[in-house]
Amino acid sequence: MGLKDNKSPWAKDADVDTAATPSLDTIVDRKFATQYLAQRLPMPYGDIRQFRDRIGQKINTAVKNGKLKATSGQYRFGDLTTWARSRKDFAPAVEDVLIPTIGHAHMIAPAMFGRAFGYSLPPTLPACQAALADAYRELNDLREEVHTLRATVATLTPLKAKATARSETAKRSGQQGGRGNKK
């Protein structure tokens, strides 16, 4: 992962190519991990070096506390992404990285960040087929609901226009004062 031709100002003295997101099974070193996170986060304080050092310290602390698995100072990119996503300060840096999980179909923490950024797959082909059938059923139900709501809007729009016209007439009448005298 150590390419020197990256044009990013973050990587001038890091000698790391962080332009492309690696696959989840890729093994990355601490230098790449620090650089990758630093490049994707807004710098809140100090200079670039201090910011990268701070991120590196947080990664080391996570390894010492057992929250991030490391082998000889190297990390699996999927583990790094999962760890970063669990931290409020690093989550925005990896929110666009999709992490597939095998199990029941659900989205990973869509409420936490306002949008879903992961997906999961059912573990077997029949389960995938059942999930697909459920998705089509839900899609058709939603289409019917949209059609019903559009019909309701089409019915209510003329009534709203009549109510607005009546309101304007009442407003003008109220401005005239009582018994037809102007105020």
37-64: per-residue pLDDT in tens? 888 888 776 778 888 888 889 999 998 9
Quote helix, strand, coil % in the chain, to nearest 5: 55, 5, 35
Q: What is the pLDDT of residues 138-174, one digit of tens each?
A: 999 999 999 999 999 889 888 888 888 888 888 887 7
Q: What is the pLDDT of residues 57-95, one digit of tens each?
A: 999 999 898 888 888 888 888 888 888 888 888 878 887
Q: pLDDT at position 10, please? A: 43
How far, CA to CA in Å, does 114 sit from each of 84, 96, 97, 148, 179?
Answer: 17, 13, 15, 27, 57
Better-predicted residue by pLDDT, 81 or 6: 81
Q: pLDDT at position 43, please? A: 75
How far, CA to CA in Å, does 22 sit from each of 26, 65, 76, 88, 148?
Answer: 6, 25, 10, 22, 45
Q: pLDDT at position 137, please? A: 92
Q: pLDDT at position 101, please? A: 55
Least confident of 15-19, 55-59, 103-107: 103-107
Q: pLDDT at position 40, please? A: 81
